[in-house]
Chain A
Amino acid sequence: MQLYSALTLLKEGLTGQRGWRAQWRSPEPQSAYDAVIVGGGGHGLGTAYHLASEHKLTRVAVLEKGWIGGGNTGRNTTIIRSNYLFDESAALYDHALKLWEELSQTLNYNVMFSPRGVMMLAHTVHDAQVSKRHVHANRCNGVDNEWLTPEEAQAFCPPLNISDDIRYPVLGAALQRRGGTARHDAVAWGYARAADSLGVDIIENCDVTGIRRDASGAVEALETNRGLIHTRKIGVCVAGHTSVIMNRVGVRLPLESFPLQALVSEPLKPVLPCVVMSNGIHAYVSQSDKGELVIGAGTDAYTSYTQRGALHVNSHTLEAICELFPTFRRLQMLRNWGGIVDVTPDRSPIIAKTPVPGLYVNCGWGTGGFKATPGSAHLFAWTIAHDEPHPINAPFSIERFRDGYLIDEAAAAAVAH
């Protein structure tokens, strides 16, 4: 792997930028691998990286139907935080946040992790009580989170409107200073480059059409549009399309896939110093380093695989943002798009073995999987390599629905997140 550093940059600058090499290969698929990851997003590429780097599996492939990072990895609003209510979730998301803090160094790739603070607004007495409960629960779990008065919130985020004249005035905010954003594409590319350098084959335009099982029921091969690929371990990391693949092997999961939209404004000079979220009136906004406001809308009401959503869903979030930030009212939106997110009944993910030997699944991240990418990748690789879950992801099994151990962040947040 060609190491990236200030020195390399200087050398290439002086020699006409002719020495840069491709960051990863485009190999033909081999006929057999030790493990195959289906899905070349951040979670899948990261899983392959950890299988190769930590668990020393030498023959690993990532199969991607389109191009890597072209699914939800490239479509999300890049918010990173770990201020979840329940112990299991706090452990999971904070594990990821700690890995985010070192990810650029680990991968020798600038993922532009920017812990600029994530501020979650409260607009009603109930909102404020729930937010304070989150703050206290987080602090018991060693996760930073603090309660701000409206004046403190405005001091941290100057454009915020704390007037009591608006429909849902800001009564306070919970601030996680360690939270922030990262460059989504760089996460996929950084993992791809690091995994490739350890021998992982990243195979794009490779659509999995079936999974073959042997007489004992264990997986033995993947049928793809680029031929049959033998393997004894398959990790499925395909977000919104998880049900499509799992239904083919008769594993019915508690998932529904919904369109989730995001949009960006025309670029501005730096105006919004942190991430601002409001679950109550549904606003998610941050400013990218290019200057665009990055805005997350809600999910559409109905299940769909269309990767597009309805305009009224976007209008709803834009109306909330215009009330909270009157200075943004005259901005024009440049682009909007949708991704397909797989949602579980308790809004917590599944990172687990399945009833099919050799088949593992990492899904159900719903509307908030990007923040967990490094943690999810690390834990899923562990689960595949050891054929049992890591203690952090053990509660995130499929069996929790049977056994009644839901991790009900849906009720805790009262919103998809």
Chain B
Amino acid sequence: MLLIECPYCGQRPELEFVYGGEAHITRPDAAAQLTDAQWTDYLYARGNTRGVHAERWRHTRGCGRFFNALRDTTTDQFVVTYKVGTPRPGPASQVPP
């Protein structure tokens, strides 16, 4: 079981959390102008990164708040957790397109 650092409550066991999938996927503003391919990409396509992955978690059985995390999917080690609304930490070169 993972130990996860909630930015609000500190380190807690994984069972208190719910995983929320890839982070930083923003709903497009002008949805009506998107092509079907662009809309499909937003809805369904995921990077499924092998390596450092930015992802959402929710401390459901704790403070109830959402936050983001960087976790290495080859080791399951958390690099850092950070609040929703803040950009992905680390050098810009690591940010996937």
Binding site for B on A (CB under 8 A): 241, 243-244, 247, 252-257, 301-306, 310-312, 342, 345, 401-403
B43 touches A310 (CB 8 A): no
Residue ID in chain A nearest B41 by CB atoms:
A252
Q: Whole-angstrom distance between the alpha carbons of A42 and B43 in the complex?
A: 31
Contact of A252 among B18, B46, B74 (CB under 8 A): B46
Q: Tell me the minimal C-beta distance from B38 to chain A in angstroms.
A: 10
Q: Whole-angstrom distance between the alpha carbons of A312 and B1 in the complex?
A: 7
Q: Tell me the minimal C-beta distance from A327 to chain B in angstroms.
A: 29
Contact of A306 among B45, B47, B48, B74 (CB under 8 A): B74
Q: Whole-angstrom distance between the alpha carbons of A301 and B15 in the complex?
A: 10
* Residue contacts A-B, CB under 8 angstroms, 19 given: A243-B47, A243-B50, A254-B44, A254-B45, A254-B46, A256-B21, A301-B18, A302-B2, A304-B73, A305-B73, A306-B74, A310-B1, A312-B15, A342-B48, A401-B44, A402-B36, A402-B39, A402-B40, A403-B36
Residue ID in chain B nearest A257 by CB atoms:
B48
Q: Whole-angstrom distance between the alpha carbons of A268 and B19 in the complex?
A: 38
Q: Whole-angstrom distance between the alpha carbons of A344 and B20 in the complex?
A: 15
Q: Whole-angstrom distance between the alpha carbons of A261 and B2 in the complex?
A: 16
Q: Whole-angstrom distance between the alpha carbons of A302 and B21 in the complex?
A: 7
Residue ID in chain A nearest B35 by CB atoms:
A402
Give the interface centre of A253, A257, A402 by most chain B CB atoms within 10 Å.
A402
Q: Tell me the minimal C-beta distance from B87 to chain A in angstroms.
A: 21
A304 touches B76 (CB 8 A): yes
Residue ID in chain B nearest A344 by CB atoms:
B44
Chain A residues contacting B53 (CB-CB under 8 Å) are: 303
A244 touches B50 (CB 8 A): yes
B40 touches A306 (CB 8 A): no
In the A-B complex, the 6 residue pairs with the closest CB atoms = A243-B48, A254-B44, A252-B45, A402-B40, A301-B19, A302-B19
Give B1-23 as 1s and 0s: 1 = Cβ < 8 Å from A's Cβ atoms. 11000000000001101110100
Residue B75 is within 8 A (CB to CB) of chain A in the complex: yes
A306 touches B75 (CB 8 A): yes
Q: Tell me the minimal C-beta distance from B74 to chain A in angstroms.
A: 5
Contact of A402 among B2, B21, B37, B71 (CB under 8 A): B37
Q: Whole-angstrom distance between the alpha carbons of A126 and B1 in the complex?
A: 32
Q: Whole-angstrom distance between the alpha carbons of A305 and B72 in the complex?
A: 9
B76 touches A306 (CB 8 A): yes
Q: Knowing A302-B19, A401-B40 are in contact, say whether A256-B46 is a contact too (CB < 8 A).
A: yes
Chain B residues contacting A306 (CB-CB under 8 Å) are: 73-76
Q: Whole-angstrom distance between the alpha carbons of A247 and B48 in the complex?
A: 9
Chain B residues contacting A256 (CB-CB under 8 Å) are: 21, 46, 48
Chain B residues contacting A401 (CB-CB under 8 Å) are: 40, 43-44
A345 touches B44 (CB 8 A): yes
Residue ID in chain A nearest B18 by CB atoms:
A301
Give the interface centre of A254, A311, A403 by most chain B CB atoms within 10 Å.
A254
Chain A residues contacting B46 (CB-CB under 8 Å) are: 243, 252-256
Q: Tell me the minimal C-beta distance from B45 to chain A in angstroms.
A: 4
Give B52-81 as 1s and 0s: 1 = Cβ < 8 Å from A's Cβ atoms. 010100000000000000010111100000
7 other A-B residue contacts (CB within 8 Å) besides A244-B48, A310-B2 = A243-B48, A253-B45, A257-B48, A257-B50, A303-B73, A304-B76, A401-B44
Chain A residues contacting B47 (CB-CB under 8 Å) are: 243, 247, 252
Q: Tell me the minimal C-beta distance from A367 to chain B in angstroms.
A: 16
Q: Whole-angstrom distance between the alpha carbons of A303 and B46 in the complex?
A: 11
Q: Whole-angstrom distance between the alpha carbons of A301 and B21 in the complex?
A: 9
Chain A residues contacting B49 (CB-CB under 8 Å) are: 243, 303
Q: Whole-angstrom distance between the alpha carbons of A342 and B55 in the complex?
A: 17
Chain A residues contacting B1 (CB-CB under 8 Å) are: 310-312
B48 touches A303 (CB 8 A): yes
Residue ID in chain B nearest A313 by CB atoms:
B1
Residue ID in chain B nearest A255 by CB atoms:
B48
Q: Whole-angstrom distance between the alpha carbons of A198 and B44 in the complex?
A: 40
Chain B residues contacting A302 (CB-CB under 8 Å) are: 2, 19, 55, 71, 76
Q: Whole-angstrom distance between the alpha carbons of A241 and B73 in the complex?
A: 12
Q: Tell me the minimal C-beta distance from A291 to chain B in angstroms.
A: 31
